[in-house]
């Protein structure tokens, strides 16, 4: 654990991940635009830097966990950014969900500086991150994967080495495409069931006994929206953002994804109706409310 670790981006996901690194013995220096988040890490022993360049100056490995492509590009490639201030032989690991073409540019920029680059976007939710149970999809050269694996082990329980740099984020987009679109069509199916006046319990018993079932409906929704819990694990706003990334990446790859375009419109309608900050399982509430249909809820015992 001799490597000095920098962590930039202490939001809902980054804060617990950085906390796990600090608690498990790594020397961590942090930065975030939110001073309260930095203060929380400082109280458990992390050092604080004034900006991203300050993190780079004292770190062998810099991890970024930021909300969007523009933020990642500014933090890593800006005039006062991380990469211009990193020494040769250092490593950057971006865990954000971003445009994969940006990931490719970051990897090239790191190589030009004599630095390594790893993309390791995160699966699962903030609650998993808090327990050190995140899932990582890692794009890295073999030697770079070996270098970052102890860090990933400190933050998660499931690590998939997907291939070279750039494969992690592309795997994440494929995964999120399936998860997010599932929420869109589940919402339509359950709104239809409610309009038909069917028993939700009987409908789900049938669906879960056939190939119509899916992980969102069977596992996530059963513990979230169908029990009346729409506190955000992954928001409708973030799902819309990811569908935008997916559609753009697919267009760049020459793969038509018309279902993504339709789903994105559905998520955008939910955002316009004021549901953007709710969990993405609340897509069914947004649709039912718009159509004045009774919300789909499992009967509580």
Q: What is the pLDDT of residues 184-229, one digit of tens each?
A: 999 999 999 999 999 999 999 999 999 999 999 999 999 999 999 9
What are the CA-CA distances from residue 50 to residues 29, 34, 53, 55 (Å)?
10, 11, 8, 8
Contact, 236 vs 267, CB < 8 A?
yes
- Whether 1 shows a pLDDT value over 50: the answer reads no
Q: What is the pLDDT of residue 256?
A: 98
In the chain, the domains with their CATH numbers are 4-165 (3.40.50.720), 170-290 (1.10.1040.10)
- Burial annotation 162-178 (CB, 10 A radius, 16+ → b, else e): bbebbbbbbbbbeebbe
Q: What is the pLDDT of residues 226-245, one digit of tens each?
A: 999 999 989 999 999 999 99
Contact, 83 vs 113, CB < 8 A?
yes
Q: What is the pLDDT of residues 49-107, one digit of tens each?
A: 999 999 999 999 999 999 999 999 999 999 889 999 999 999 999 999 999 999 999 99
Q: Name the β-bridge partners of 116.
A: 91
Catalytic site residues? 172
pLDDT band at 125 (very low <50, low <70, confident <90, very high): confident
The rounded distance, in Å, linking the Cα atoms of 135 and 13 is 12
Q: Which tokens sit at 29? A: 């220096």
Cite the DSSP H helix spans in the chain: 14-23, 35-42, 52-57, 69-77, 100-112, 126-130, 142-155, 167-196, 200-207, 215, 221-223, 236-253, 258-272, 283-290
Q: Which tokens sit at 138? A: 């890692």
The rounded distance, in Å, linking the Cα atoms of 124 and 233 is 9
Residues 6+ away with beta carbon under 8 Å from 22: 28, 41, 44, 45, 46
The pLDDT of 110-117, averaged and rounded, is 97
Does pTM surpass 0.85?
yes
What does pLDDT average to over the chain?
96
Q: What is the pLDDT of residue 202?
A: 97
């Amino acid at each position: 654990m001799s490597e000095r670790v920098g962590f930039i981006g202490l939001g809902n996901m980054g804060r617990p991940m950085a906390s796990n690194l600090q608690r498990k013995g790594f020397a961590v220096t942090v930065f975030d635009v939110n001073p309260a988040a930095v203060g929380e890490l400082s109280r458990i022993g992390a050092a604080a830097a004034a900006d991203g360049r300050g993190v780079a100056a004292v770190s062998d490995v810099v991890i970024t966990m930021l909300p969007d492509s523009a933020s990642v590009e500014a933090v890593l490639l800006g005039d006062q950014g991380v990469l211009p201030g990193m020494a040769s032989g250092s490593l950057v690991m971006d865990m954000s969900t971003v445009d994969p073409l940006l990931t490719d540019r970051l990897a090239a920029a790191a190589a030009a500086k004599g630095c390594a680059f790893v993309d390791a976007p995160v699966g699962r939710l903030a609650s998993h991150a808090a327990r050190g149970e995140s899932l990582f999809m890692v794009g890295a050269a073999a030697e770079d994967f070996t270098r970052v694996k102890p860090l990933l082990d400190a933050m998660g329980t499931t690590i998939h080495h997907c291939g070279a740099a750039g494969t992690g984020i592309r795997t994440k987009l494929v995964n999120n495409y399936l998860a997010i679109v599932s929420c869109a069509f589940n919402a339509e199916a359950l709104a239809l069931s409610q309009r038909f006046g069917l028993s939700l319990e009987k409908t789900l018993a049938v669906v879960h006994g056939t190939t119509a079932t899916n992980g969102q409906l069977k596992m996530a929704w059963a513990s979230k929206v169908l029990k009346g819990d729409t506190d955000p694990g992954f928001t409708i706003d973030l799902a819309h953002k990811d569908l935008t990334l997916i559609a753009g990446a697919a267009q760049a790859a020459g793969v038509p994804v018309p279902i993504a375009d339709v789903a994105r419109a559905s998520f955008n309608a939910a955002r316009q109706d004021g549901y953007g900050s709710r969990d993405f399982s609340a897509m069914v509430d947004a649709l039912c409310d718009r159509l004045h249909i009774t919300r789909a809820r499992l009967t509580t015992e």
